[in-house]
Structure 1
Amino acid sequence: MSLNANDRAIAGFTMTGHALVHWFETSIPIFLVVWLAEFDVSVGLFGLIVALGYAPFGIGALPGGVLADRYGTKRLIVFCLAGMAGSFLVLALASSIYAIALGLILWGIAASVYHPAGLSLISTGVEERGTVFAYHGIAGNIGIALGPFVAATLLIFYQWEYVAVALSVPGIFAALYGLSADFDPVAGADEIDDETDEQPASLSDLLSSSRALFASAFAVVFVIVSFEGLFYRGVLTYLPEILQDIDALANFDPGLGLEGINPGDYIYVGLLVIGMAGQYVGGKATDRVTPARGIIGIFVVLATLAALFVPVSKRGVAPLVVLCGVIGFFLFAIQPFYQEAVAVYTPPEGRGLSYGYTYLGEFGFGSASIAIGGFLLGSFDIVVFFGTLSAVALIGAGLATVLLIQYRGSPSR
């Protein structure tokens, strides 16, 4: 079924916002490689700084939902776009690690409000919600891949400060576009009034609803998502830096006649592109495989891949490229399963709050792995870093096993 004019307007607005959130998010690890060479600080300290930027991205999800209800989703998304662009302009002017930290924190605060606002806008303003949610997800994946690709390519020719400015430009234009975007943000509300609960009216209501939610199977799901976030953020933050130091890639000549090309950056981009396929296949598989079983299987695969990274990296470029591609596939294939787990193991009246906590676990608590990873890479051999990631994945598999055994019921159905 084709989208009506209002659905198309909201789809275009939210797809732009979703793509740009991840455009900025996944370009930061590319800059990390440059910053480590530019500033005389340890990888551990920079890991802590980057973690300070990523943490508000998840922590702000809950207050972001409250602000969206109070001030309107469109207004909040425009603020998000302008704030992200402005934060990258702050980064471009940075002359110390403290200014870098400020720019990253500002980015995290601005970016944090997008997901609750964007998803809320689609849920209340769109009639063909399933179709728009699908387009919205595709746009996010495009941003995930394009951000680091554009950043890595521009860094071949320009200084990182100019690249930061260039990356901010789409955000500025998107914010201006958002100011003039015309749509009805509640056009689809009549269709979902019976399906959607009222938002907590006060802090006491929020605490009461939260206590009820965490007294259910969602408590286990939340911890599973947090461990997935630890693995996800640890891999995506440090892989560009790790790949740069691998001997096989350091001595690899792509034969393009361009100086300054870092093959590791493009392997990283390839991982993210393959992740799109993983997310699609994972989404389709949720129709056939229960969430807990899918999470167990993929966590075990990710644990194995992390353990294999160091020995495979010593066998040459081709095996390393294949391994990174497989990591990218399963790193994103697990996401539809935990999203489905939230739907299966929470009642409909707690669904909105449960997804808010899900983003808190994925992007907020998950960002702790940036600080931990920086410490491990700065103090120990790379084997310890990947061994820790493997252990994180195995713990996630164990928690999913608890979910499978103890919570067979489905309160949402």
Structure 2
Amino acid sequence: MNANDRSIVVLVMVGHGLVHTYELSIPIFMTAWLGELGVSEAALGTLVGAGYFLFGAGALPGGILADRFGSQRLIAACLAGMGGAFLLLGLLPGIWGVGAALLAWGAAASVYHPAGLSLISTGAQQRGRALAWHGIAGNVGIAGGPLATALLLLFFDWPSVAILLGLPALGAAAGALRTSVDETAAVDPQSAEETEASPAAGGFSALWARSRTLFASGFAGVFVLVALSGLYYRGMLTFLPDLLTPLVGNVPMDVAAGRYVYAGLLAVGIGGQYTGGRLSDREGTERTLALALTILAGVAVAFLPVAGLGTAALLAISVVLGFFLFVVQPLYQATVAEYTPPDARGLSYGYTYLGVFGVGALGAALAGAVLQIAGPPLLFGVLAGIALLGAGLSGWLALRRPQPESAPS
């Protein structure tokens, strides 16, 4: 990697890790809020859900802002907003303070993915390697955030923990502003000039025209693909801790042990992210993505029968699930870059994460409904079907993959 690539990688690793640290710390805080704030589970769930909704819904305007103002400044604003939100959480610990802080966090965090991925796709020469390190940092946050929060709660009350967690993001925001990066180093000079001259902010009519052009290309298929990936991701992970406890097949398992398996599964994703990032350096990411999604479909079909064979089998199938669940993320991120022009990269990643986190959030509701009506076997069957749909779509995209110069402008 050259110096610019390294600067970009450090910036996005810090941002991505902190985004997911805060995202996954919130459920740990909920255990304290239920006991101290005198609020029902339904009311608290509504507040938390509103924050998570903004996390997904804000991705599209975040992509527009990234195209207009540049990714680096937007990442700095994201970090400052998240740190400020957690300071607010600690300083205003009542129910209204919690609600305001969660909404502020969701709005601030929502801009990260389109900004960070746009920066990698247009600024990093070794895009696949940058995506790999970016994904690893996200998984460190996913696995380490809940653990760090739980450990801090052993020694401090939750408002103090919220303040302690907010401080690193404020420091990172200051560092992000001082970092020197070239955001267009990975695009040819002509494309860079077009990017700088493009009317990223031309009002609703310009946004509509740019969006219509984007979805008239192969990106429409990519959008459906990432939405299917998001449905599988949320549908699989939302209730998996409950499915692991107290029994998985004939494997006795208490609540704590189930949570450890769940955390370990997320940690394995670090290796999956890195592998997926390295594979995305090769041509034809759609073919690799189709293979990974096919494997995930097989994992969904086999998970319950294999888990019932014993503890070792349960751990083995969990490792495979965690690995391939995160292999697909850098692959579809790279695929988005192949189907979009540099001047619409922020907008395209905004739509991407609207699909992953927005449409994908329906996976949680789908999983809950299926579990209530029919139980785990049907849920895993539905998830397998979703993964197979994604694999088929990836294969179709591979057959008609355009050359980079034929992307819409």
Instruction: Report if aligned partners of 1:344, 1:412 keep a CA contact under 8 Å in 2.
Output: no
Q: Does 1:66 align with 2:59?
A: no
**In 1, Cα distance between the equivalents of 2:131 and 2:287?**
25
Residues 123 and 129, structure 1, Cα contact 8 Å, conserved in 2: yes
Equivalent AA in structure 1 for residue 403 of structure 2: S
Post-superposition Cα deviations, 1:133-165, rounded to whole Å, max 9, x if no partner, equal 654444333323321332344456666665544
Structure 1: segments with no counterpart, 5+ residues: 253-260
1:206 alignment partner AA: L
Q: Does structure 2 retain, via aligned residues, the 8 Å contact 1:30–1:240?
A: no
**Aligned letter for 2:394?**
A
In the alignment, what sits opposite 2:241?
240
Query: How far 1:226 moved relative to its partner?
Result: 0.5
Change (3 A) 1:331 1:50: farther
Deviation at 1:10, TM superposition (A): 5.4
- Corresponding position of 1:147: 145
Corresponding residue number in structure 2 for 1:195: 191
1:292 and 1:400 mapped to 2: Cα distance? 5
**Stretch deviating more after TM superposition (367-376 or 203-212):** 367-376
Aligned position for 2:314? 320
Q: Is the alpha carbon distance of 1:282 and 1:67 closer, same or farther for their aligned partners in structure 2, counting shifts above 3 Å?
A: closer
Verify: 1:107 aligned to 2:101, yes or no.
no
Asked if 2 retains the 8 angstrom alpha-carbon contact of 1:15 and 1:139, the reply is yes
The equivalent of 1:227 in structure 2 is: 228
Identity %: 48
Distance 1:153 1:327, change over 3 A: farther
Distance 2:133 2:354 in 1: 23
Cα deviation code 1:258-280 (max 9, x no counterpart): xxx82233322322222122222
Matches within 5 A, 1:117-136: 117-120=115-118, 135-136=133-134
Q: CA deviation at 1:231?
A: 1.2
Equivalent residues of 1:343, 1:412 under 8 A apart:
no
After alignment, is 332-341 or 241-250 more displaced?
A: 241-250
The separation in 2 between residues aligned to 1:104 and 1:376, in whole angstroms, is 29
3-state SS of 1:81 partner? helix
TM-aligned CA distance change 1:311 to 1:364, over 3 Å: same
Which deviates the most, 395-404 or 203-212? 395-404
Matched with 1:295 is 289
Encode CA deviations 1:50-99: one digit per residue, 9 max, x unaligned: 54333322322231233345556554333322322343455566666x87
Instruction: Write the letter of the residue equivalent to 1:308.
Output: A
Residue deviations 1:78-121 (CA, integer Å, cap 9, x gap): 3322322343455566666x876654433221101123333455
Per the alignment, residue 3 of structure 2 pairs with: 3
* Preserved CA contact (<8 Å) 1:10 1:125: yes
1:348 Cα deviation from its structure 2 partner: 5.3
- Consecutive unaligned residues in structure 2, runs of 5 or more: none
Give the secondary-structure state (helix, strand or coil) at the position aligned to 1:200: coil
What displacement does 1:46 show?
Answer: 7.1
User: How many angstroms apart in 2 are the aligned matches of 1:190 and 1:84?
Assistant: 29
* Residues 229 and 361, structure 1, Cα contact 8 Å, conserved in 2: yes
2:324 match: secondary structure: helix
Distance 1:62-1:408 versus aligned 2 partners, 3 A rule: closer
8 Å Cα contact 2:300/2:383 also seen in 1: yes
Deviation at 1:394, TM superposition (A): 2.2
Hey, what's the Cα distance between the residues in 2 that align with 1:290 and 1:189? 23
> 1: CA distance between counterparts of 2:307 and 2:354?
33
Q: Distance in 2 between matches of 1:129 and 1:388?
A: 34
Question: Is the CA contact 1:300–1:397 (under 8 Å) kept in the aligned structure 2?
Answer: yes
DSSP-derived class of the 1:383 partner = helix
Pair 1:21–1:333, CA change in 2 (3 A): same
Cα distance in 2 between the residues matched to 1:160 and 1:265: 21
Q: Distance in 1 between matches of 2:100 and 2:116?
A: 25
Give the TM-score taking structure 2 as reference length. 0.79
Whole-Å separation in 2 of the counterparts to 1:2 and 1:398: 37
**Counterpart check, 1:182 vs 2:178:** yes
Which AA in structure 2 matches 1:3?
A
Amino acid at match of 2:303: F
Q: Per the alignment, in what secondary structure is the counterpart of residue 394 of structure 1?
A: helix
Provide the secondary structure at the position in 2 that maps to 1:231: helix
Structure 2 contact 20–145 (Cα < 8 Å) conserved: yes
Q: Please give the secondary structure, in 2, of the residue aligned with 1:262.
A: helix
TM superposition shift of 1:227: 0.6
Report the AA paired with residue 56 of structure 1: L
In 2, Cα distance between the equivalents of 1:161 and 1:380? 40
- With over 3 angstroms needed to count, the CA separation of the structure-2 counterparts of 1:289 and 1:60, relative to structure 1, is same
CA contact (8 A) 2:219 2:336 kept: yes
Distance 2:304 2:32 in 1: 23
TM-score by length of 1: 0.78
Amino acid at match of 1:399: L
